[in-house]
Amino acid sequence: MSRELLLVLEAAFGGIGIFLLGMRFLSDGLQALAGARLNRWIGSVADNRFLALLVGIGVTCVIQSSTATTVMVVGFVNSGVMTLLQGVAVVFGANVGTTLSLWLLTLDVSQYGEFLIGIAIFFYLFSKREKVRSAAMSAIGLGMLFFGLELLKNGFAPLRGMPEMRDALSFFEANTAPGFFGAALAGGVVTALIHSSAAVVLLVMGLAGAGAIDFPTSVALVLGSNIGTTVTALIACIGSSRNALRAALAHTLFNLIGVLLVTLVWHPFSRACESFSTWAFRGEPEGPAYFTFAIACVHTFFNVATTAVLFPFMRVFVAVVTKLVPVHESEKAEEGWRPHFLDERLIPQTAVALGQAQKEILRMGETCRAMLGELRAILASKDRDEDREEGVFRQEDGLDLAQKEISEYVGRVLHDNVSRFQSDLARRELRQADEFESVSDYVRNALKAYLKIRNAGEDLSDAARAETLALCDSVGAFLSDVLDIVQIGDPFNVPRAVEKSRAIEEQAKRCRDAHLSRLGKTCNSPVKSLVYSDLLTAFRRQNDHLLNIAQTLGD
């Protein structure tokens, strides 16, 4: 291997590696700056396809990867957060959003990449403000993008004087139909291997700028990269629901149809892109800067035009993928508890993953509220209802599993590079999940105490039943308030929760005093007396754990 070729390969691997790492830094920094806004954007997606399209563009601009956005959509559709139609609309927007990051590379500042990295590193290392560190991380990533592009530009320059390399690359020249499909296939395969169409487009920019490939070949490689980027989403949907598979398939069909349409007008499309670039660049149509601009135009024109053409047929897309991936009659819903919002594909997007964990924690709280409702119905009735009793025990078993799943999920999120704010949020969620599980334990204990009284052939007096039902109602109302506080995330509501908790504690003490008063006047059995005290204690412990949940917001 010649010295020149070795230098070219070093530039290729070094430039792409630095570019990919820069994309990661830029994405992590922007996500940390966006914070909860990402979840609000995703939560704003309704049946409005235009809004979903804008959300797809915005999220992709933050994440800096249409593939990552599509994988997220697969996770959201799989967990039921999005409908299939909403997911397809977001995927359409992601294909437009991915074009914007490439325009950063057209700025004539690539030679300042090292300078930007050096300045930003000082802020990242020495600043104590979280937002400053996140902004510095984004700046470091942006500088690495420019630095990676500069490495490729300079590293590929020797290719002009290496006819053997140009001859080898001539196999992919898109001047003929076989050459076009060969170039498109090569772009798709490389993109599928490195999971980044942006990196492949960067490589194409470097090769075109060095004169190693002509403009039509560059266009074919860019089109192929758009097909290769769908492979990651298809792999990600393995083992998911059929709706998730449909979302990934819609992404694949979008890009395949787009490439097919462009193939039908191949020469006019290529000439139009080249003519526009020559006009807009206002300079000589040659050199690295020109080709960087022209290839960014190709990427943008393809994705924007495909979205504009296919957007009116979005519902047809949904109908087609639903037909291609039908639901088998033999498929049955799994019994028992399973997570609705947790999805492994979302873990790399820290802010989104923590938002999903919060939804699962609120679901735990809703289950606790349902358990309390069932307990109240059991306490109010003088007749046994074994199905309802068994349902409470089954729900408590489910929340044991929920707490375990959430803890493991959030733990995996913490293993990644997270900001201080995200780390605090993750630990708060771990505490909340643990406290809700404890609430369910004491709902079960209250039921077990009442069943001990019933199994001993006894029952509550009318006065004791009324007091217990009132206490149960108070705890249930407090649980609803705590759920609202957690959902809003407002620490200013914590003092109000403390006052309500004290009121419930006083109510429980009055129930205990009333019980002791009745005990002195009537001849209650020892079993009934002791177990009724356990029943009151179970409600008091529920109140304590609910207060702990509210106070996590004030820590």
Question: Nearest 10 degrees: CA dihedral of 20, 26, 32, 33?
Answer: -160
* pLDDT band at residue 330 under the 50/70/90 scheme: very low
Distance CA 531, CA 503 (A): 23
Name the average pLDDT for the chain: 80
Cα distances (Å, whole numbers) of residue 161 to 8, 156, 170, 364: 12, 10, 15, 66
CB 339 within 8 A of CB 405: yes
Q: Is the pLDDT of residue 137 over 80?
A: yes
Q: Is the pLDDT of residue 487 over 90?
A: no
Question: In this predicted structure, what is the pLDDT of residue 500?
Answer: 93
119's CB contacts (< 8 A; 6+ apart) are 139
516's CB contacts (< 8 A; 6+ apart) are none
What's the token pair of residue 34?
């966006």
Q: DSSP character for 311?
A: G
User: CB pairs under 8 A, 24+ apart, for 179-186?
Assistant: 179/217, 179/220, 180/216, 180/220, 180/263, 180/266, 183/217, 183/220, 183/221, 183/224, 184/220, 184/221, 184/223, 184/224, 184/227, 184/259, 185/224, 186/221, 186/224
3-state secondary structure of 333: coil
| Percent with pLDDT over 90 in the chain | 17
Distance CA 340, CA 209 (A): 49
What's the token pair of residue 273?
């892109």
Residue by residue, what is the 3-state secondary structure of 528-543? HHHHHHHHHHHHHHHH
Question: In this predicted structure, what is the pLDDT of residue 540?
Answer: 92
The average pLDDT across 486-509 equals: 89
Distance CA 187, CA 197 (A): 9
54's CB contacts (< 8 A; 6+ apart) are 93
Q: Is the pLDDT of residue 156 over 70?
A: no
**Amino acid (one-letter) located at 532:** Y
At which residue do the structure tokens 């009324």 appear? Answer: 466
- Count other C-beta atoms under 10 Å from residue 5's C-beta: 14
CB 191 within 8 A of CB 200: yes
CB 351 within 8 A of CB 422: yes
Question: In this predicted structure, what is the pLDDT of residue 499?
Answer: 92
- Tens-place pLDDT, residues 21-48: 887 788 777 777 776 666 666 666 656 7
Choose which CATH entry (3.40.50.150, 1.20.58.220, 3.90.700.10, 3.40.50.300) describes domain 349-554. Answer: 1.20.58.220
The average pLDDT across 422-449 equals: 91
| DSSP states along 398-431 | HHHHHHHHHHHHHHHHHTS---HHHHHHHHHHHH
Burial of 497 (0-12, 13-18, 19+ CB in 10 A): buried
At which residue do the structure tokens 């959003």 appear? Answer: 97
Distance CA 387, CA 392 (A): 9
- Tens-place pLDDT, residues 82-104: 778 888 888 888 888 888 777 77
The average pLDDT across 117-129 equals: 87
85's CB contacts (< 8 A; 6+ apart) are 47, 49, 314, 315, 318
CB 53 within 8 A of CB 311: yes
Q: Is the pLDDT of residue 16 over 50?
A: yes
Q: Is the pLDDT of residue 448 over 50?
A: yes
41's CB contacts (< 8 A; 6+ apart) are 55, 58, 59
Question: Nearest 10 degrees: CA dihedral of 375, 378, 381, 383?
Answer: 180
CB 356 within 8 A of CB 341: yes
What's the token pair of residue 282?
């206002």
Domain boundaries, the chain: 3-324, 349-554
Question: In this predicted structure, what is the pLDDT of residue 331?
Answer: 46
Q: Is the pLDDT of residue 273 over 90?
A: no
Of the listed ranges 39-48, 201-210, 342-351, the one predicted with least confidence: 39-48
Q: Which H or E element spans position 133? A: helix 130-155
- Tens-place pLDDT, residues 178-189: 777 888 888 888
At which residue do the structure tokens 């078993």 appear? Answer: 397
Q: Is the pLDDT of residue 364 over 90?
A: yes
Question: In this predicted structure, what is the pLDDT of residue 62?
Answer: 74
What is the model's pTM? 0.69
Which among 65-79, 196-210, 316-330, 471-485 has the top mean pLDDT?
471-485
Question: In this predicted structure, what is the pLDDT of residue 435?
Answer: 94
Q: Is the pLDDT of residue 158 over 80?
A: no
What's the token pair of residue 97?
């959003």
- Tens-place pLDDT, residues 401-415: 999 999 999 988 887
